[in-house]
Amino acid sequence: MKATLINYGVGNLFSIKAGLERVGFNVKISFLPEGDEDVIVLPGVGAFSAVSSYLNSMKDKFNELRERGVKFLGVCLGMQVMFDEGTEGGLSKGLGWFKGKVDKIYANVKLPHIGWDKLFVNKDSCNLTEGLDGKYVYYVHSYVAYTNDYVAYSEYGIKYPAVVCNDFAVGTQFHPEKSSVTGKIFLRNFYSWVKR
């Protein structure tokens, strides 16, 4: 299966590319969708306002690809821009694929949150979390999505979504490519979800 990893022009994309390739994806890095991919990956680098502006300029193309059955994976910031709006860099519109607002972690904790936290499976309508409940995943973030719609969560001062999904998009607040064996399990589950 083909995956296009969208390059926003910032950050290192090679670890997520390698993680996807390890589970069977043929990955290409590009500034724009190629048009023949099975999956578009929105990586976890940059600031919400800049990335959402870039991605919203492709919203019509994304909608066309969705109608053709292309699936989307958002990692960290890539997941956050799938929500209605975010406050990082000023209030900005997201893609609106999930209901909720992305804002700072409002808790008496050190930010950014960098490190390992446990995943708790809430409900899994997408069959993405098999083998993940109670396992640890790796985070680097100061912002979270404030929503009640998630299939797994973690806690750092507050409970926040770790995995979200709908019929065409999956998002993870954690970095599967940096989450060792647990990340590989998730990416395998994602591969199966795309293939179904």
pLDDT in tens, 48-104: 998 999 999 999 999 999 999 999 999 999 999 999 999 999 999 999 999 999 999
Instruction: Provide the CATH number for the domain around residue 66.
Output: 3.40.50.880
Question: Is a pLDDT exceeding 90 seen at residue 8?
Answer: no
For the question of residue 113 being annotated catalytic, the response is: no
Query: pLDDT for 125-154, tens place per residue?
Result: 788 999 999 999 999 999 999 999 899 999
189 and 176 Cβ atoms separated by less than 8 Å? no
141 is catalytic: no
Confidence of residue 46 (pLDDT cuts 50, 70, 90): confident
The answer on pLDDT for 9 being more than 90 is no
Per annotation, catalytic residue among 126, 141, 165, 177: 177
Query: Is the confidence at residue 162, as pLDDT, over 80?
Result: yes
Residue 168 has pLDDT above 80, yes or no: yes
Residue type, 10: V
C-beta contacts of 186-191 below 8 A and 24+ residues apart: 186/128, 186/129, 186/132, 186/137, 187/19, 187/20, 187/22, 187/23, 188/23, 189/127, 189/128, 189/129, 189/130, 189/131, 189/132, 190/23, 190/73, 190/128, 191/1, 191/23, 191/24, 191/25
Number of domains in the chain: 1
Set 37, 141, 165, 175: catalytic member: 175
Known catalytic membership, residue 67 = no
Burial class (CB in 10 A: 0-12, 13-18, 19+), 18: exposed
Question: pLDDT at position 126, please?
Answer: 84
Q: Which residue among 76, 88, 113, 165 is the active-site one? A: 76
C-alpha–C-alpha distance, residues 2 and 22, integer Å: 13
Q: Which residue range forms the structural domain that includes residue 13?
A: 2-195
Q: Please tell me the pTM assigned to this model.
A: 0.96
pLDDT at 196 over 90: no
Examine the pLDDT at 124 and tell me if it is beyond 80. no
